[in-house]
Amino acid sequence: MRVNGPGSRKPWCPVCEEHTDYHLESEDSSTYTCNECSSSTWKPTAPVPLTIVVLGLVFSLNALAFAALSGKISSGLNLENVFAAVVIWIASIILLRVVWYNWEHWRKFHRWKKK
């Protein structure tokens, strides 16, 4: 499975910084593991569609949290609304980190590809 040149469709190991031989962790797994360093490989995918979907989801969830906290959905500021808003903000941070790391992998892959 080794590829000499950069191929955008082949899984890429960000630790080894090359296309390496890889295997599935288990039959029902969707992630590949590098045979050389045992880290997770990354399949280069365009980060723009993921970014658009995540930003839309984060915007919608935060609009929902704002509506709940401002009293537009339920009356007054109660503990459930505050808890829901905190959970939404934590989920938003996690989703934005996923997008950020995907962009970082994308940039790292393209720097390597240009070498």
Specify the pLDDT at position 4: 47
Please indicate whether residue 2 or residue 17 has the higher confidence score (pLDDT). Answer: 17
Specify the pLDDT at position 5: 55
Specify the pLDDT at position 21: 83
The dihedrals phi and psi of 17, each to the nearest 5 degrees, come to 55, 50
pTM for this entry: 0.69
| Rounded Cα–Cα distance for residues 89 and 78 (Å) | 17
**pLDDT at 41 > cutoff 70:** yes
Mean pLDDT value of segment 67-75: 76
Mean pLDDT value of segment 17-21: 79
Exposure b/e, 19-31, CB count within 10 A at least 16 = b? bbebeeeeeeeee
**pLDDT at 42 > cutoff 90:** no
**pLDDT at 30 > cutoff 70:** no
Neighbours of 114 (CB within 10 A): 7
pLDDT in tens, 91-113: 999 999 999 988 988 888 888 77
